[in-house]
Amino acid sequence: MVEQKEPLYMDPNKPLEARVDDLISRMTLDEKISQMTNDAAKIEHLYVPKYNWWNECLHGVASAGVATVFPQAIGIAATWNIELMDEISRVISDECRAKHHDAIRRNKRRIFLGLTFWSPNVNLFRDPRWGRGQETYGEDPYLSSRMGVSFVKGLQGDDPKYLKLVATPKHYVAHSGPEPDRHTMDLKVSKKDLYESYLPAFKACVQEGKAVSVMPAYNRLNSEPCGASKPLLEDILRDELGFDGYVVSDCGALTDIFQNHKVVETPEEASAMAINAGMDLFCIGLITVRKKRVVWKWIKGAVDKGLLTEEKIDESLKRLFTARFRLGMFDPPELVPYAQIPFEKNDCEEHRALALRAARESIVLLKNDNNILPLNKNMKSIAVIGPNADDLDVLLGNYNGDPSRYTTFLQGIKNKLPKTEILYTKGCALTNKSTEGFEEAIEIVRKSDIAIVVLGISHLYESEEMMASESEAKGDRVHLDLPGVQEDLLKELHSTGTPIILVLTSGSALSVNFAKVNIPAIIQAWYPGEEGGAATADVIFGDYNPAGKLPVTFYKSVDQLPDFLDYNMEGRTYRFFKGEPLYSFGYGLSYTKFHYSNLQLSSNKVKTDENISVSVDVENIGKISGDEVVEVYVSNKTASIRVPIRELQGFKRISLNSGEKKIVTFTLTPTQFSIINEDGKRLVEPGNFGISVGGCQPGYSEDGKNIVEGDFVVVGEIIHL
């Protein structure tokens, strides 16, 4: 009897490429096509298990039951802490792996249980009206890039052979609302804006983070659907950026190509157009057998009509199975280090502690008149008012998991002061116009020593197109004010004379003009995750010194913004906005004071191909210890073309005890003082540059002590990078 030889692809000692090629060579065309939707079919005779590619982990494992819920992405960005992001992403990937292997042991292979994740969202948050801006790292390409790279690396791990997970930066590229138009709109974006603003975070995630997957946007860019565009997927992503992973469509985007964008007439043409342009995998939405059969017929029909070749399908299959092999899916579990992560890692106390730390670091103190904060813990009575004070939704944001335990703002205050009388009422609803609860709220506030009022919005008001049940624009916002009668309630409570601490929840900018003038203390809490209430109470009562900084500009009014549909960057974000903001990008207060001095440049004159070193002394001149985010901005004063007013080009979050001084050093490369011309080409030209280092942007210093400025000159010939 002849012993049957094990197929090459099953041998973990063979080269990866040979294994992938061997497996694909054994598949029929129908079997190959069955692997090109997110619910990939089982191929029994080849021992290929069923696999669902769709999973989410924006700020914790989403939609898969109990998991640690960290602050929403915009809140993590507000920490300006790359090391913290690394810790968060590693914890998320631990929980992802733990859940996956538990599911496999129970033979569960459904949606949201795999190892391929459609996160992070690194779109530029160019307009605060966009409901999904909360999923991003804000309005700055540099901050978004640093956060995105750290997240991708933390998810994918550092093993030389195996991937921990697959990260998928999305939505490539230039996608940021309006939500209702995403399936039909054709964005007009110049090469300059594309390379200067919209593309950098994707570039960084691919080139530095080594992201294994990318998801294109629904919309068209300059008349071509993003998911079926050779210029985007081949010329830029693969050829220029060197991406060698797989491309996955957003859900239902294949249908958009012929049905909504109408760039072709038939689904077969759309399938061929996308795959020929570089698309490898189609999300067909929530899975039904009918949907899978329909998409299979479209792709098969494209082959039958000569629009698509089997060789092109093989290219996609090779990229898809390379990822699955690198995840260890065809190897014995004992060979895969990440397969050993125990299920008990999920939602463990260590992870909950990190969620609390992240929430603390994300909080931004916007106002603190006369140092009213932190509050004394010996108060006899405190009123807690607001629709968001005792609400789970405002902790979680969107694309979230389910915390086994959570602490609302009300509960956080109660836990902090168990002997103090805490009086609570909502006062009003999130969005409706009823003032029915005003009277009770006013009565409670009048008989309290102080009022903590929790207002703002939630993911029910700003979110993805089909998820925001209380939105006025299918997920987007039509204004930046507090919705419903929240500001009316705030004004009534203010008129009582009782001091008010205002806590805001949101994933985007709020135009709280009345509060800025009249309310003594304002805290921006974002959607702070499962321990958001505990973290906020820590800040209010002085057990944590806030140090978060805004990753977005807070505008005075929507009237300061260009048209929502206009993707020209002129007038948008702190880089191009020439008006006066309510609160500036990079802004955030502390309970202590920092003094910046002794700005040193390695040279005041550098050549176009040279680095420049920047150092500064930062001293805590206040009475308590605290963190400070040191921000570096560069402005090109003599550029030959339009350039940003200033650009963030470095930041570090440091800790300083009272009286402690540290020297903080940065290195700027030629890329960081380069410009993008109208052809989208990056170059360094001679000229004069301004540099500022401090705890905020130049021009927004509270007392002049928390920023220093200098200049340097670039000399020599123009170089192209």
Point out the residues that are catalytic. Answer: 250, 462
Task: Decide if 417 contacts 153 (C-beta within 8 A).
Answer: no
For residue 447, report the phi and psi dihedrals to the nearest 5 degrees.
-100, 15
Task: Decide if 49 contacts 42 (C-beta within 8 A).
Answer: yes
Closest CA to 73 of 482, 398, 444, 519: 398
Q: Reduced to 3 DSSP states, what percent helix, strand and coil does the chain have, rounded to the nearest 5?
A: 35, 20, 50
Task: Decide if 707 contacts 692 (C-beta within 8 A).
Answer: yes
Pairing of strands 364-368, 605-607: unpaired
What tokens were used for 660? 């402690």
First CA to last CA distance, the chain: 65
Find the angle CA(296)-CA(301)-CA(307) to the nearest 5 degrees: 120
* Amino acid identity, position 351: H
* Sheet containing 661-668: order of strands: 594-601, 612-620, 661-668
Q: What is the rounded distance in angstroms from the CA atom of residue 149 to the CA atom of residue 85?
A: 10
Closest CA to 383 of 448, 454, 455: 448
Side-chain half-sphere of 41: how many Cα atoms within 13 Å? 18
Find the angle CA(508)-CA(455)-CA(459) to the nearest 5 degrees: 45
The DSSP secondary structure of 346-404, one letter per residue, reads TT-HHHHHHHHHHHHHH-EEEEEGGG-PSPPTT-SEEEEESTTTT-SHHHH-SS--B-S
Q: What is the rounded distance in angstroms from the CA atom of residue 310 to the CA atom of residue 510?
A: 52
What tokens were used for 277? 């342009």
Task: Decide if 616 contacts 597 (C-beta within 8 A).
Answer: yes
Q: What is the rounded distance in angstroms from the CA atom of residue 119 to the CA atom of residue 148?
A: 9
The DSSP secondary structure of 69-84, one letter per residue, reads -PPPHHHHHTTT-HHH
Instruction: Determine how many CB atoms are found less than 10 A away from the CB of residue 685.
Output: 19
Q: How is residue 482 annotated by DSSP?
A: P
Pairing of strands 647-656, 170-172: unpaired
The DSSP secondary structure of 471-498, one letter per residue, reads -SBTTB-S-SSPPTTHHHHHHHHHTT--
Helices (H), 212-348: 230, 253-259, 267-277, 289-304, 310-326
Closest CA to 36 of 45, 27, 44: 27
Contacts of 607 by beta carbon, 8 Å cutoff, 6+ apart: 714, 715, 716
Find the angle CA(258)-CA(259)-CA(263) to the nearest 5 degrees: 35
Task: Decide if 358 contacts 84 (C-beta within 8 A).
Answer: yes
Q: What is the rounded distance in angstroms from the CA atom of residue 581 to the CA atom of residue 510?
A: 11
What tokens were used for 692? 């500022």
